[in-house]
Amino acid sequence: MNNMEASKFEKLRFVGSRPIRHDGLEKVTGQARYGADISFPQMLYGKILRSPYAHARIKSIDFSRALALEGVQAVVTSSDFPKPWLTDETGIDSKLINIKFSSNNVLAGEKVLYKGHAVAGVAASNAYIAEKALDLIDVSYEILPPILDVMQAIKVNAGIIHEGMFPYPESGLIASEFNSSLISNSTLDMSNHHQGDDSKYSNIAGYYIQEIGDIDKGFMDADVVVEREYNTGSVHQGYIEPHSATAIWNRDGKVTIWCSSQGHFGMRDQTAEVVGIPASDIKVIPMEIGGGFGGKTTVYLEPVVAMLSKKTGRPVKITMTRQEVFEGTGPTLGSYMKVKIGATKDGMITAAQALLAYEAGAFPGSPVNMGAQCIFAPYDIPNGKVEGFDILVNKPKVAAYRAPGAPAAAFAGETVIDELSCKLNIDPLLFRLKNSAKEGTRRISGPVFPRIGFLETVEASRIHPHYLSDFGGPNRGRGVAAGFWFNGSGPSSVIVNANADGTVSLIEGSPDIGGTRVAVAMHVAEVLGIPIADVHPSIGDTDSIGFTSMTGGSSVAFKTGWAAYQAAQDLKAQMIERASDIWDVEAGEVNLKDGKFNHSTNQDLQMDFKELAGMLNATGGPIVGRAAINPGGAGAAISVHIVDVEVDPETGKLTILRYTVVQDVGKAIHPDYVEGQMQGGAVQGIGWALNEEYIFDKEGVIKNPTFLDYRMPTSLDLPMIDTHIVEVNNPGHPYGVRGVGEVPIVPPMAAIANAINSAVGIRMNTLPMSPPVLLEALWANNGAGKVYGD
Amino acid sequence: MSEKVHIETNINGSQVEFLCEPRQSLLEVLRDVLDMTGTKEGCNDGNCGACTVIVDDRIIDSCLMLAVESQGKKITTIEGVAYTDRLHPLQQAFLENAALQCGICTPGFIVAAKSLLDREPDADEGRIRQWLAGNLCRCTGYDKIVRAVLAAKETMKNE
Ligand code: FES
Ligand code: FES
C-alpha cells in the first residue's frame, strides 16, 4: 500500500473494511430477480425475426401469414416507429440522425446491416408459437455484398453502408493522412478510394487527430525507432445473462418497462426517442443485472416490447437466446492499428505516433477517440501524433466494452514499448518509469494530469515478489504492460431516510453490477457512524429517484459514493439541527461522532443516532437527506500487469503460470470488490488475448455464436489472480476514490504478447493469440514452412 | 400443440406434480411452470452451467434435460440448498469471500460445488477448478469463487 497521503483517511471506521454485501443473501439463495425472472398474468412472449444476411436491402415485409397463426397477437416492424428524421430536409440534424440510427438498430429500416440485425418482433401466447410465427414472415431482400473489415471498407467500389450519409472528406484530408510517412508502407492505402462509383460518400464515419510537439523532429532525435502493424478481431462482452425486457403499455399512454441494464434512465430516454413519446411517460423498473461490461447500455428489446404491448394491450416479454446476444448485441471493435515510437539510447521517448482504424459496426460510433486518447497516456511524450478513424462495416454496431477503445490500443502501444526496451536493453518497468506521466504532464490530447499514481504503481510492480521471482525454464517467459483509463463521472442522485428504528434506507439510481450497493452504503455509514448493516441500500426506479447516469465508466463508487456521502451529510446536518431544538442549544454546539450526538461542552446532553431517529416523527417530522450532483475530478486509473507464461511448442497452447495485477485505485472502499474488479478485468483480457474471437465467414455470418465455440476462460484455464492495491488518493473525492472497474482489462493482451516474446522470441501482432495462430507463428519463426491453414 | 404430460417428481424434498409439454426442458419447467427462477438460463445449450441442478446425485445442466425425464427423480435446485435455519456453508462462504459480483452465475456454481463437496469432501484447488469448469463466470475471474469453495470445504469438515 502507498501511505504517502494516507493521513487524511487514517481515522476512517468503515471505509476499507470488508462487510458482507446487503444484496448477497438473495443472490446466493436464488431469490434475486434478474431481467428474465419476471412475469405477469396474461403476459405474451415475443420473439425477434433477424436478418440472415450481413448486408441487404429490404424490398418488402409481409407478415400476414404470421398474424394468421393461432396464438399470434401482434407483429411490429420499423414502420411502427415514428421517423422524425424525415422532417429534416437538410439531413444534418445530428440529434435526429442519432434517433434514426438508434431506431434502425432496434428494427432495421431500409436495409439490414449485419447478420442477426432485427427485422420484426412478434408477440404470441407462448414462445414456441412466437418462434413458429417468425418462419411465416416473408421478407424479400436484395442481397448486397457485405463489407467485413477496415481494409475492405475503404477500398475502391467497396460499396457504401449508409448511402448519402457520410460525405467523402473534403480536400483529400483523410487520404493524405493515410499516406503520411507513418503508414507509407502499410497495407492500408486509401489513395484511390474516392474514384469509385459511390464517389461522394464513404464508409468513414469519423476522423480524430491529436498532436503535440514536432513529430518529425522527435523521430530525428531518436536513436532507436520501432514501428509495428496490428489487427484485432471483434470480441463480445460475454455477460452470462442474456438481454430481457418486459413492458406494459397502459391505456392512458403510460408505459412501464422491467429490464436489466446498466442505466435505467438511459433505457427510458432511448426508448422514448425510438417509440416517440415523452420520457416522462415511461417508467423503467430496474431488475438485477447479470453482467454488462458496457454491453447493457443501449436499447435492443425495450422499444419492441413496448410497441408490442401497445398493439396488444397486454404485458409482453422478450428474452434473447445466446445466439441472439452474440449476433445482435455488443460486440467490441475489430481494428487495424499502426504504432511507431522512438527513443534515445538512454531510454527516453522522443516521439510516438499511432494510427487507429476501428470498426464501428453497422452504425457510426466506435470508441476510437478514446483509444486514441489512452494509447500513450501513461507516458510523458514530448512529440506525439495520434489519428483515429471510425469505420463502418457490416457487423453488429459496437457497444461499449470495459474501457472502450483502450485495450486494443494498449495491445499495440505496450508491445512497441516492450520491443523498444528490449532493443535498448533496459528493464521494461524501468523504461516505463523513466518515461512515466506524472502530475503536470500534458497529454497528447491536451489535458494536464492532476495527481496520478503511475510512478507509484510501476514502483510497486518492480518490487513485487512476482517480479522479483524466477520464471525460468524452456518456453517460459514473463511479460509486463501498463494500462490507462480516464474513469468517468456523471449525474447521480441519492436519498437517505432516517428510520424510526435507527436504520437508514438509502435509495440510489445506479444499478449494482458487482457490489456497489455495499460500497455506496459504506459512505453513509462512515458519515453517520452507524453500522454498515444498518444502512439499507436499494435501487430506485426512474420515478422514485432523481436522474442518475449509467453504471459505466468506472463511475459508481466515485459519483454515487460521493452523492451518498453528501446525502448523509445533509441528513446529519438536519439531525443535528433537530437535536439542538430538542436540547434548546445552538446547532453549532452539537456534534455527531461515532454514531452519537453530543454537546460540545455539556456532557449530559448525549443521544445515540437510534434514540434521535426514534424521536423524529414526534419532534417536527421525519428527516430525509438528499444529494443530486454531477461531480468532476474522477481521477485517472493506472494498472500494471505482470504475467508468466509457458508456450507448448508442439501445440501452440499457452498456459498462464502466474498473474499479478497492480493498480492505483485511489482508495479501496470495499477491498474485496476492488480486487474482484481487478481479477475479473484481467481474466476478460486473458480471454481476449488467447481465445475469444468472432469467426465470420465471407458472407459475414458468425460461425461461432455459442459459448462452446466462442471460448471464454473457465476456472480450469487460470491460476489465482494476485492483486496489489496501490492507493494514491484522488484529491477529487471525499475518501480518495478513483474508478476501478475498467482499467484492468487494458494491459493483459500486451502483457501476454510480451511474455510470449520473452518465452519463444516471437512478436505477436494479432488477437487472439490462440493455439493455431501461435503455432503458425512458431513454425514461421523456425523456418519450418507454413502448414496450418494450407 | 402437443399434449401435456403429467409428471411427479421430488424437488428440494417436496413431492411436486406438474403438466408439461414433451419438448419442454427441465429448466423451462422450473422457471416458467413452477416459478422457481433461482435456476438461471445463460445459453440454453449446455455451455454455461447457470442452470445447474442436481438430479439423483448427479449434476445436470437443466437446459439439456427434458422435464418428462424427471419423472420419479429427486431434484435439488438452488432454492433447496440452504438449511431451514441458516445458509449452507457454501452460500455463507460465497458471501464472506465476495465470490459473486453480478451473481447470475452464483446459483449454478453453488449447486455444482455442493455436488462436488458432498462426494469429495477433500477436493483440492485443482479438483475444484476441474469440477467447476462447466460453469462460466464472466465477472470474477474465478479466484474468489475457488477460495470460497475451499473455505466452505473446511467449514463442512468441522460440521
Ligand atoms: S443455460 Fe444450461 S448450460 Fe447454459
Ligand atoms: S458473478 Fe457475474 S457471471 Fe459470475
pLDDT digits (tens, 9 = 90+) for A728-758: 999 989 999 999 999 999 999 999 999 999 9
Is pLDDT above 80 for A92?
Answer: no
User: What pLDDT band is residue A414 in, cutting at 50, 70 and 90?
Assistant: very high
Taking the Cβ of residue A36 and every Cβ of chain B, the question of whether any pair is shorter than 8 Å is answered with yes
Helices A406-423 + A748-760 axis angle, to 10: 30
3-state class of A294 per DSSP? coil
Cis omega before residue A331 (within 30°)? yes
Ligand 2: which atom is nearest the Cα of residue B102? 2
Is pLDDT above 80 for A759?
Answer: yes
Is pLDDT above 90 for B121?
Answer: yes
Q: Which cell numbers hold the place of A635?
A: 481521477
Q: What is the distance between the alpha carbons of residues A574 and A590, in angstroms, rounded to a whole number?
A: 11
User: What pLDDT band is residue B1 in, cutting at 50, 70 and 90?
Assistant: low
Give the gyration radius of chain B's Cα atoms.
16
Q: What are phi and psi of A525, to 5 degrees?
A: -60, -40
Q: What is the distance between the alpha carbons of residues A765 and A232, in angstroms, rounded to a whole number?
A: 8
Residues having CB closer than 6 A to ligand 1 are B 41-44, 46-51, 61, 63
CA distance B111 to chain A (A): 10
Ligand nearest to the CA of A240: 2
* Count of beta carbons in the 10 Å neighbourhood of residue A261: 28
Ligand 1: which atom is nearest the Cα of residue B48? 4
Mean pLDDT to the nearest integer, A185-193: 45
Q: What are phi and psi of A596, to 5 degrees?
A: -125, 135
Which pLDDT score, from 0 to 100, does residue A297 have?
97
Q: What is the distance between the alpha carbons of residues A193 and A388, in angstroms, rounded to a whole number?
A: 18
List beta partners, residue A336.
A231, A357
The string over A406-421, giving b where at least 16 C-beta atoms fall within 10 Å of a residue's C-beta and e elsewhere, is bbbbbbbbbbbbbbbb
Mutation for testing the A interface, residue in B104, B110, B149 having most A CBs under 10 Å: B104
Which pLDDT score, from 0 to 100, does residue A169 have?
60
Which pLDDT score, from 0 to 100, does residue A207 have?
86
Ligand nearest to the CA of B62: 1
pLDDT digits (tens, 9 = 90+) for A637-675: 999 999 999 999 999 999 999 999 999 999 999 999 999
Burial class (CB in 10 A: 0-12, 13-18, 19+), B124: exposed
The string over B64-99, giving b where at least 16 C-beta atoms fall within 10 Å of a residue's C-beta and e elsewhere, is ebbbbebeebebbbbbbbbeeeebbbbbbbbbbbbb
With a cut of 0.90, is the ipTM above it? Answer: yes
List, in order, residues 6 or more apart from A9 with CB less than 8 Å away.
Answer: A15, A16, A667, A729, A735, A736
Q: Which cell numbers hold the place of A256?
A: 412501464
Is pLDDT above 80 for A190?
Answer: no
Which pLDDT score, from 0 to 100, does residue A152 have?
87
Which pLDDT score, from 0 to 100, does residue A790 have?
34
Is pLDDT above 80 for A83?
Answer: yes
pLDDT digits (tens, 9 = 90+) for A419-432: 999 999 999 999 99
Mean pLDDT of chain A: 93
Ligand nearest to the CA of B109: 2
Ligand nearest to the CA of B104: 2
Surface of A (657-716) touching B: CB under 8 A: 672-673, 675-677, 679-684, 706-708, 712-716
Residues on chain B touching A30 (C-beta within 8 angstroms): 36-39, 77-79, 107
Q: Which cell numbers hold the place of A127?
A: 414462445
Among candidates A526, A435, A536, which has minimal Cα distance to A495? A536
Ligand 1 pocket test target in B24, B32, B41 with most atoms within 8 Å of CB: B41
Which pLDDT score, from 0 to 100, does residue A401 have?
97
Q: What is the DSSP string of A148-184?
A: -SHHHHTSTT---SSTTTSBPPGGGHHHHHHTSGGGT
Cis omega before residue A772 (within 30°)? no
- Asked whether B140 lines ligand 2 (CB < 6 A), one says yes
Ligand 1: which atom is nearest the Cα of residue B41? 1
Q: Which cell numbers hold the place of B85?
A: 435455519
Which pLDDT score, from 0 to 100, does residue A12 have?
93
Mean pLDDT to the nearest integer, B112-121: 98
Which pLDDT score, from 0 to 100, does residue A442 have?
96
Q: What is the DSSP string of A87-135?
A: G-TTS--HHHHHHHHHHHHHS--SEE-STT-EEEEEEESSHHHHHHHHT
Q: Which cell numbers hold the place of A672?
A: 474485496
pLDDT digits (tens, 9 = 90+) for A146-175: 999 888 888 767 789 998 888 766 534 444
Q: What is the distance between the alpha carbons of residues A326 and A296, in angstroms, rounded to a whole number?
A: 13
Which pLDDT score, from 0 to 100, does residue A545 have?
98
Which pLDDT score, from 0 to 100, does residue A208 have?
87
Q: What are phi and psi of A398, to 5 degrees?
A: -65, 145
Mean pLDDT to the nearest integer, B94-109: 98
Q: What is the distance between the alpha carbons of residues A130 and A136, in angstroms, rounded to a whole number?
A: 10
pTM of the model: 0.96
Taking the Cβ of residue A293 and every Cβ of chain B, the question of whether any pair is shorter than 8 Å is answered with yes
Which pLDDT score, from 0 to 100, does residue A397 have?
97
Which pLDDT score, from 0 to 100, does residue A775 have?
96
Q: Find how far residue A145's CA is from the centre of its chain.
A: 31
Mean pLDDT of chain B: 97
pLDDT digits (tens, 9 = 90+) for B7-64: 999 999 999 999 999 999 999 999 999 999 999 999 999 999 999 999 999 999 999 9
User: What pLDDT band is residue A199 in, cutting at 50, 70 and 90?
Assistant: low
- DSSP summary character for residue B58: E
* Count of beta carbons in the 10 Å neighbourhood of residue A346: 9
Mutation for testing the A interface, residue in B138, B140, B144, B146 having most A CBs under 10 Å: B138
Is pLDDT above 60 for A393?
Answer: yes
Residues on chain A touching B103 (C-beta within 8 angstroms): 23, 27-28, 32, 288, 290
Mean pLDDT to the nearest integer, A274-295: 98
A536 neighbors A520 (Cβ within 8 angstroms):
no
pLDDT digits (tens, 9 = 90+) for A539-558: 999 999 999 999 998 999 99
Which pLDDT score, from 0 to 100, does residue A411 have?
98
Q: What is the distance between the alpha carbons of residues A498 and A516, in angstroms, rounded to a whole number?
A: 21
Q: What is the distance between the alpha carbons of residues A273 and A81, in angstroms, rounded to a whole number?
A: 10
Q: Whose CA is nearest to atom 3 of ligand 2?
A: B137
Residue among B98, B139, B142 minimizing CB distance to A718: B142
CB contact under 8 A, B38 and A30: yes
Q: What is the distance between the alpha carbons of residues A386 and B103, in angstroms, rounded to a whole number?
A: 40
Helical residues (DSSP H) of A718-770, grouped into ranges: 748-760
Phi-psi label, residue A318: left if phi above 0, alpha if psi -120 to 50, beta otherwise: beta
Helical residues (DSSP H) of B2-134, grouped into ranges: 26-28, 89-96, 106-119, 125-131
Polymer length of chain A:
790
Is pLDDT above 70 for A21?
Answer: yes
Is pLDDT above 80 for A9?
Answer: no
Owner of C-alpha cell 449509467: A550
Mean pLDDT to the nearest integer, B87-113: 98
Q: What is the distance between the alpha carbons of residues A675 and A57, in angstroms, rounded to a whole number?
A: 48
E runs forming strands in A162-294: 204-212, 224-232, 244-249, 255-259, 282-286
Is pLDDT above 70 for A179?
Answer: no
3-state class of A640 per DSSP? strand
Is pLDDT above 70 for A370?
Answer: yes
Amino acid at the residue A783: G
CB contact under 8 A, A29 and B38: yes
B59 neighbors B77 (Cβ within 8 angstroms):
no
pLDDT digits (tens, 9 = 90+) for A555-591: 999 999 999 999 999 999 999 999 999 999 999 999 9
CA distance A514 to chain B (A): 4
Owner of C-alpha cell 495527481: A451
Q: What percent of chain A has pLDDT over 70?
A: 93
CB contact under 8 A, B43 and A707: yes
Q: What is the distance between the alpha carbons of residues A54 and A146, in angstroms, rounded to a whole number?
A: 6
Residues on chain B touching A28 (C-beta within 8 angstroms): 87, 91, 94-95, 100, 103, 106-107, 110
B48 neighbors A707 (Cβ within 8 angstroms):
yes
Query: What domains does chain A contain, in order, with CATH numbers?
Result: 12-29+489-629 (3.30.365.10), 44-144+243-319 (3.90.1170.50), 331-487+635-782 (3.30.365.10)
Is pLDDT above 90 for A348?
Answer: yes
Which pLDDT score, from 0 to 100, does residue A198 have?
52
Q: What are phi and psi of A199, to 5 degrees?
A: -60, -25
Q: Which cell numbers hold the place of B75?
A: 431434484
Taking the Cβ of residue A70 and every Cβ of chain B, the question of whether any pair is shorter than 8 Å is answered with no
Q: Which cell numbers hold the place of B41?
A: 438460463
CA of A640 to the centre of ligand 2 (A): 24
CB contact under 8 A, B45 and A679: no
Q: Which helix (DSSP H) or strand (DSSP E) does residue B154 occupy?
A: helix B143-157
User: What pLDDT band is residue B2 in, cutting at 50, 70 and 90?
Assistant: low
Mean pLDDT to the nearest integer, B78-101: 98
Q: What are phi and psi of A327, to 5 degrees?
A: -90, -25
CA of A128 to the centre of ligand 1 (A): 19
* Count of beta carbons in the 10 Å neighbourhood of residue B35: 9
Give the CA dihedral A750, A753, A754, A758, nearest 10 degrees: 170
Compare all CA atoms of chain B with the CA of A260 and give the residue at the minimum distance: B102
Query: What domains does chain B contain, in order, with CATH numbers?
Result: 5-80 (3.10.20.30), 89-158 (1.10.150.120)
Residues on chain A touching B77 (C-beta within 8 angstroms): 30
Is pLDDT above 80 for A196?
Answer: no
Among candidates A490, A221, A212, which has minimal Cα distance to A354? A212
Residues on chain B touching A680 (C-beta within 8 angstroms): 101, 138-141
A352 neighbors A221 (Cβ within 8 angstroms):
no
